[in-house]
Amino acid sequence: MIKFKDLFSFKRNEIQAFLKEAKLCKQIKGLKLLQAPFSLPDSEQNHGKLLVVTPRRSGKAHKRNQLRRRIKAVFYEEKLYQKHVASILFVYKEAMELDFNQIKEFLTDAFKK
C-alpha cells in the first residue's frame, strides 16, 4: 500500500535531476505542469509523484494551503499516481480563483496523455 505522504515528497537530488529532464505537459492560466519519467539510478519508485510549488506571492497562506490540499486530493482520489511519472505543478496567483472541478479537469486531462 502506498503511503499518502510518499506521493508528495521528493529528495533534493530527485528534484534537481527531474528539473533537467522535465518538459511542459499542460498549462492553463495559473497552473503549469511539468512531467518527466522516473529515470534516476537510485530511484526505484513504482508509483508517480507530484510536487506542488506555491510561492508566497500567489496569495494568503490559508488560500495556498487550501489549493494544495485540493490538488493533492485530486491526485490521490483519481489514482493519478499510477502513471509512472514525476510531476511538478507550479501554481500562480490566477489559480486561486479555480474551483475543485476545474482543478480536477486540468489534472485528469494532463495525466491522460
Which sequence spans correspond to the domains of the chain? Answer: 5-112
12 Cβ neighbours under 8 A, 6+ residues apart? none
| Nearest in space to 106 (alpha carbons), one of 32, 50, 38, 47 | 32
SS3 (DSSP) at 92: coil
DSSP for 66-112?
Answer: HHHHHHHHHHHHTTGGGS-EEEEEEE-GGGGG--HHHHHHHHHHHHH
**pLDDT in 10s for each residue of the chain, 113 residues:** 788 898 999 889 888 888 899 999 999 999 999 999 876 555 566 789 999 999 999 999 999 999 999 999 999 999 999 998 999 999 999 999 999 999 999 999 999 87
What is the model's pLDDT at position 44?
A: 61
So what's the architecture of 5-112 in CATH? 2-Layer Sandwich (3.30)
